[in-house]
Structure 1
């Protein structure tokens, strides 16, 4: 990583990226790592500085410079007049959101091979909603819930979660583990150590983005058609449509919520699916799982738990208490269970629906 030294900049031959020095945050760490997924920036050096003259030498500048100009490749969001949001959203963008908004589709194509079209557009929106927007909100001081509404409702946290986010992990990289030695180091040495910590933070958060993107592309996106087919066929298993049967394990929840919102529900059919069945593996005699559908955005709350008498019970005891042979287990929290056969899992689901 370069810090203004021409000699250091020569180590990489791509166009120079600039961001600010000093305390760093998750948004510019992500912005830099996303840019480097593109061929243009694959070998780009990075200079971290607040010196306007050095920033003028940069090909692309993120999170510093008080300017947002796509043509000049300046992507800062700190200026007073900045109000830009991602299409269809209301959260003001950070440098991460700006880079993603302008380069996201190219990044998705480069990483996944998806070409312009409906699937790429769906994934572009999904990655912003589920991953990028939280970086924007965090850096702009936007709370998940309105603090005044939370206070007026008398709600309080059950535990402290400030250290449990990507932003908190990135923040930890700001701090040197050798504070006692800092007094003996030159300004250049201290800057290099800071730059090295930023590099590690950017690599970490970039890896999280890469995993999110590739998983969504390889598993979540292809699952759409399977979940849609299962949703259309759900009345085969329950006359009220409360049970969904999948051919294999897959990311189904988002697709199910969308289908329920967009579909016309016939009279006599339940508006929501309560349980999803899927095999544990592709082996012929595999066991089957029954999963209670979570309330949308409801954390660990389910639309309908598996019955209380089944919770925490296993094997023969479960078969006895449920009245269904082949019982394997039901989790103590009531969100998932299993049976040795599909017919057994289906029988459990039907009993649970009416319990």
Structure 2
């Protein structure tokens, strides 16, 4: 048992409420749970004790990921007990300590970080951040795969590469280990615990930074983009009679909003059910170049609804003009998902021609 700061004696009369979690090997969920709590004014200066001693845990104001108790009233947020089945509204993944903290404190955390007040925007962001960020922590800690291995095997599919070391959870796991093999062999138990706590603090800071980036990006860019994408969606027939081209006034996070808009209302007769290409300027300068982006299949990763034509892929500048028959070409990526032209008219002409090829 120790606190993150060995110079502080464990006191129960500290001004900020004491947070408790378990000692030993740590995971991404409790690292995130602790960092999220500390974004709230109540917990901003809270000390952390990492222990499995029940007597010490009882002295903590808030306990995450240990203690076999889930009770918001008691400020106990463990998920390891057999009877635990709690999920986030509208989802099926059992919560981890990260999900539990987010479930009960998430809206207050988002409001504190962004200034958003209770209402539709806050509710939307609360759901979006759980779906896109928090749920993966819950699934990882509860042993849930994105796709069950048996289903992949049944479908005859195999990974093209190994990605186990690419996730936030894998980064957090690396903090569990000392920089040098056997480096703690000569240290006392107190020194070993202090070193472990220091590694946990680094992991929690790292995960907290990723969470903050997610929240601020969604609040500052994703949320305001809704109205712009909606207006562009309403105007899409100006650029193609079937509405397959979307023109945005600037670069912005558009994909989520487009997928949502396509599901909201019945598509008029003669209008295509899906947008295939999105156009947007590179920057706000009056003579800026324009990009043409093939729309990915929803949840399809790098698979697009319609690639830019094969003959254009990997071609640039004057040669691209020759291949497309459209002046001002800049490039088309070899994978066919994005291209560029020196002008809006050129990019629009490329998109319109690509529709027919």
Classify the TM-score, shorter chain.
over 0.9
Cα shift at 1:155: 0.6
> 2:164, 2:148 → 1: CA distance?
17
Matching residue of 2:263: 261
Cα shift at 1:9: 3.8
Matching residue of 2:347: 345
> 1:247, 1:177 → 2: CA distance?
49
> 1:86, 1:71 → 2: CA distance?
18
Match of 2:250 among 248, 251, 263: 248
Contact 2:292 2:338 in 1 (8 A): yes
How many residues are paired up? 355
> 1:241, 1:7 → 2: CA distance?
64
Alignment gaps of 5+ in structure 2: none
Matches within 5 A, 1:1-355: 2=3, 7-9=8-10, 13-355=15-357
Cα shift at 1:183: 2.1
Cα shift at 1:4: 10
Per-residue CA deviations over 1:52-72 (Å, capped at 9, x if unaligned) read: 000011000000000000000
Point out 4+ residue stretches in structure 1 off by more than 6 angstroms.
3-6
Contact 1:3 1:49 in 2 (8 A): no
Distance 1:180 1:148, change over 3 A: closer
Secondary structure in structure 2 of the residue aligned to 1:8? coil
TM-score, scaled relative to structure 2: 0.97
Per-residue CA deviations over 1:290-333 (Å, capped at 9, x if unaligned) read: 00000111011000000011101111110110010110100011
Contact 1:4 1:49 in 2 (8 A): no
Cα RMSD (Å) of the superposition? Answer: 1.4
Alignment gaps of 5+ in structure 1: none
> 1:124, 1:50 → 2: CA distance?
32
Farther off after superposition, 253-262 or 146-155: 146-155
Distance 1:4 1:236, change over 3 A: closer
Cα shift at 1:149: 1.4
Secondary structure in structure 2 of the residue aligned to 1:121? helix
Secondary structure in structure 2 of the residue aligned to 1:220? helix
Secondary structure in structure 1 of the residue aligned to 2:106? helix
> 1:239, 1:343 → 2: CA distance?
17
Contact 1:288 1:341 in 2 (8 A): yes
Cα shift at 1:73: 0.1
Secondary structure in structure 2 of the residue aligned to 1:248? coil
> 1:324, 1:330 → 2: CA distance?
13
TM-score, scaled relative to structure 1: 0.98
Contact 1:28 1:63 in 2 (8 A): yes
Contact 2:4 2:201 in 1 (8 A): no
Per-residue CA deviations over 1:243-273 (Å, capped at 9, x if unaligned) read: 0000000000000000001121011110000
Secondary structure in structure 1 of the residue aligned to 2:102? helix
Contact 1:3 1:191 in 2 (8 A): no
Secondary structure in structure 1 of the residue aligned to 2:183? helix
